[in-house]
Structure formats: C-alpha cells, structure tokens
C-alpha cells in the first residue's frame, strides 16, 4: 500500500505514507514491508513477536536517494546477498534513532545505536538490523547513492558501519534531522530535497572525514537540550490522549511548571503546540488516497482528540476552512 498526498493546497509533493492503522491487521506487516522495500531498495524484514504489528512509514523517494521517518513495532531487518543483487544502485544507509535502540551487524563489526545517535553503513554488503524498544522503535532513515561521496577519499572506510555518537554529532546535522522528524507530515517536495541535501552534505563532516571542520561544529551542551528532548518526546506521543504537561514532567523528572515555562519562552503554550501538530497530522492523513474514505472523526480520534466540534473550529482557524471543504477543494 503506497500513496501520495499533498503537504498543502499550494505545495504539492509526492510524499509516501504507509500506516498499518488504516489496514487489516492480517495485512499490516506485509504492507509495511512493501513500504520499506519500495522506498529503500530490497530488504528482508522479520517480525517475530506474538503481539500485533503496528507501523507508520512516511517520507519521499527523490532522484538522488530516499529519506523517511519510520515508527514501528520492533523488527529485524536483514539485507541479504539476494537483496543486494536486486538493488538498482550502491549506496550508504543512515539511521538516526529517535526512540529505542538499533543494533547494526555488518562486516564483522557490531554497533549499538541509542537515542540521539546516528549510524552509517554500506548498502552493498550484507547487514542485519535489530531494533529494540519498550514500545515503538522510531528513526529517520536515509539512502544515499555512493556517487554523492565520490570526491571523499576512502568514503567506504569512513562510512562503513560507523557510529556517530552524541559527542560527535554536529549541530547543523542535528538541526536538519530534527526538522525532518518534527515536520514530516507537512514538508513539500522542495523542502524534503533541501533537507536531504543538507543531511548528506553534513554527514561526512560528523563522521570524521574532515576532522578539522567537525571539531569546530560540535553541538554544544546547552539548556536548550532539555527542551529539544521534550519536543521529541511530545512529537513521538501526539496520538496519546494522556499527553499533557504533567505527564511529560513525570517522564523527565521535572516540574509541570518548568515544562510550561520552556514552551512559553518560545512564544507558544504547551497545549497550543500539541494541538497544532495534531492538526497537521490529521490533515496529512485526511488528504491521503488510502484514507480518503475514512470519516474525519476516525482520523481525529487517531491523533488523540475527542471533541469533533472543537477540532473543526481549530482546523478552520489554522487552515482557513472546514475540514470537509478543505478535502473537497483538493478533489479528494
């Protein structure tokens, strides 16, 4: 199951979405597997849990590669020699972990990638990815053709199963990845392409290909780090009805008042930020061809909202018209 949807009436893109919430449970894993393979070349994913599989893959395939956010029940992804033989290009994969852990086994080396870390590995060698998480695993995945790094001496040596930890992460790269994670539902094709290009240009710097430059760009450990961690947590839990300042404060071991102050310092309330992000997610799903027959109420409930009347008012304030009219104007 694949689909294309527009990020806004003015900016059309070919964003692709696979969401098992909108399909039969018996088809969930096969649909998600299709999304992985069509976006990132052939893989052999395995799901061994007895629990129902859930996943959402949202991103884009560009002429120069692919980038997507993947949220899913933990799985094992194997890229075999047969998968490699059926792949149209040689490239590098990069995974930036947003939630959970990722174990990467390739070329006799094993890396365990934790939240806030990034790993790069070779698409032309067999590899096994094992995801670990208490609930859903979440990451930003990127496929980069090797020709983009042809000018870098020993690119395969620098970027073959290489872990970029928190201390090595450079600020500009972290900012680009955070922008993707926080705005995946609303990016236009041009914005996707710009962020993709920025990420792949900065990645060799973070990996140590240009050590002198990297040392001057290491992300500082500032007070903003707490806010960015909270922001990532909030964005990851938008569908949960219990999402509120007190719940977030409990997760981080801080006061509810401090959570509210962090948002207020940036000119927005906690509830205002959460509502805006939920509206963006609902709009993205509402415009998806796969979801065109789903009642708007179902999509509203999916993203943690209950009051349809209040939703319609908020939607009209943010996007200029009622949800049903918005969908009708785009011919959905």
Q: Are the CB atoms for 121 and 92 separated by under 8 Å?
A: yes
pLDDT at 222: 46
Residue that wins the pLDDT comparison between 211 and 44: 44
Nearest 5°: CA angle at 132, between 128 and 138?
A: 95
pLDDT digits (tens, 9 = 90+) for 68-94: 999 999 999 999 999 999 999 999 999
Cα 211 from chain centre = 28
CA dihedral 291, 138, 231, 319 (to 10 degrees): -10
pLDDT digits (tens, 9 = 90+) for 256-298: 988 888 888 888 899 999 999 999 888 888 877 777 778 889 9
Q: Distance (Å, rounded) from C-alpha 80 to C-alpha 42?
A: 9
List of domains in the chain: 4-215 (2.60.120.10), 224-329 (1.10.10.60)
pLDDT digits (tens, 9 = 90+) for 1-42: 444 433 232 333 457 788 998 888 899 999 999 999 999 999
Average confidence (pLDDT) over 52-80 = 93
Q: Are strands 55-62 and 118-122 parallel, antiparallel or unpaired?
A: unpaired
Q: Are the CB atoms for 145 and 159 separated by under 8 Å?
A: no
Average confidence (pLDDT) over 157-169 = 89
Q: Distance (Å, rounded) from C-alpha 332 to C-alpha 330?
A: 6
Q: Taking Cα atoms as reference points, which of 48, 135, 124 lies closest to residue 90? A: 124
Q: Are the CB atoms for 1 and 180 separated by under 8 Å?
A: no
Q: Are the CB atoms for 29 and 164 separated by under 8 Å?
A: no
Strand partners, 92: 122, 144
Q: Distance (Å, rounded) from C-alpha 155 to C-alpha 72?
A: 31
Supply the DSSP string of 128-144, one letter for each residue: EEEEE-SS-EEEEEEEE
Burial (CB count <10 Å: 0-12, 13-18, 19+), residue 79: buried
Can you give the pTM of this predicted structure?
Answer: 0.70
Q: Distance (Å, rounded) from C-alpha 203 to C-alpha 326?
A: 39
Q: How confident is the model at residue 195 (pLDDT cuts 50, 70, 90)?
A: very high
pLDDT at 242: 92
Cα 143 from chain centre = 13
Tally of residues, the chain: 332
pLDDT at 268: 86
């Amino acid at each position: 199951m694949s689909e294309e949807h527009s990020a806004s009436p003015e900016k059309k893109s070919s964003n692709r979405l696979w969401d098992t919430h909108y399909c039969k449970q018996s088809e969930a894993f096969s649909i998600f597997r299709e999304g992985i393979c069509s976006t990132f070349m052939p893989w052999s994913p395995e799901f061994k849990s007895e629990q129902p599989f859930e996943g959402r893959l949202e991103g884009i395939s560009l002429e120069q590669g692919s980038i997507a956010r993947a949220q899913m029940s933990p799985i094992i992804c194997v890229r075999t020699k047969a998968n490699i033989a059926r792949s149209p290009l040689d490239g590098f994969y990069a995974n930036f972990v947003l939630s959970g852990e990722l174990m990467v086994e390739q070329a006799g080396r094993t890396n365990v990638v934790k939240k806030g870390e990034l790993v790069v590995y070779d698409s032309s060698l067999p590899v096994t990815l094992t995801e670990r998480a208490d609930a859903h695993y979440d990451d930003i995945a990127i496929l980069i053709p090797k020709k983009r790094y042809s000018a870098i001496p020993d690119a395969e040596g620098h970027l073959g199963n290489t872990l970029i930890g928190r201390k090595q992460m450079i600020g500009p790269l972290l900012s680009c990845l955070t922008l993707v994670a926080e705005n995946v539902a609303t990016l236009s094709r041009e914005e996707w392409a710009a962020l993709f290009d920025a990420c792949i240009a900065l990645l060799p710097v973070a990996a140590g290909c240009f050590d002198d430059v990297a040392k001057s760009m290491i992300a500082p450990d500032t007070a903003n780090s707490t806010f960015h961690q909270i922001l990532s947590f909030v964005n990851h839990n938008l569908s949960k009805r219990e999402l509120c300042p007190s719940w977030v404060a409990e997760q981080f071991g801080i006061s509810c008042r401090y959570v509210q102050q962090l948002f207020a310092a940036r000119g927005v309330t906690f509830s205002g930020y959460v509502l805006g992000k939920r509206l963006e997610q609902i709009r993205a799903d509402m415009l998806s061809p796969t979801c065109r027959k789903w009642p708007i109420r179902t999509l509203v409930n999916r993203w943690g909202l209950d009051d349809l009347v209040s939703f319609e008012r908020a939607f009209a304030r943010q996007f200029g018209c009622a949800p049903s009219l918005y969908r009708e104007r785009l011919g959905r």
